[in-house]
């Protein structure tokens, strides 16, 4: 089993972390007609859990939280896949 001590040399390595709020498919015309202040509806509800990706690989599931007037993601569960 690998311990944190075994991989401490990796602590300064930067990795991309991405959280996808949702997606839609719209026409190019829809995009051309967007104006400042317009809303783009997504398929997810505000209560839905979000997937957190590291290097485009699903890593965890989280929820949106507000802490000191800033948005963040609370980790709900780690995604464990068989390697």
59: domain CATH number is 2.30.330.10
The chain-wide mean pLDDT, for the chain, equals 90
Query: In angstroms, what CA-CA distances link 59 with 25, 27, 29?
Result: 25, 31, 35
Question: Is residue 45 a part of any domain in this protein?
Answer: yes
The domain of 39 spans: 8-78
Is 2 part of any domain? no
User: Residue 30: inside a domain, yes or no?
Assistant: yes
Provide the 3-class DSSP secondary structure of residue 21.
coil
The first and second tokens of residue 10, run together, are 């990796």
pLDDT at 76 over 90: yes
Per-residue confidence at 2, pLDDT binned at 50, 70, 90? confident
Average pLDDT for residues 24-37, to the nearest whole number? 95
pLDDT at 15 over 80: yes
pLDDT for 83 equals: 47
Domains identified in the chain, total number = 1
Cα angle, residue 6 at apex, residues 5 and 10 outer, rounded to 5°: 90
Domain for residue 53, yes or no?
yes
Q: Is residue 83 part of a domain?
A: no
């Amino acid at each position: 089993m690998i311990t944190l001590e075994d991989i401490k040399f990796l602590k300064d390595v930067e990795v991309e972390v991405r959280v996808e709020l949702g997606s839609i498919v719209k026409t190019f015309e829809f995009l051309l007609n967007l104006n400042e202040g317009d809303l783009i509806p997504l398929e997810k509800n505000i209560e839905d859990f979000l997937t957190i990706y590291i290097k485009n690989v699903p890593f965890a599931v989280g929820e949106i939280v507000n802490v000191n007037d800033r948005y963040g993601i609370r980790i709900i569960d780690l995604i464990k896949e068989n390697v």
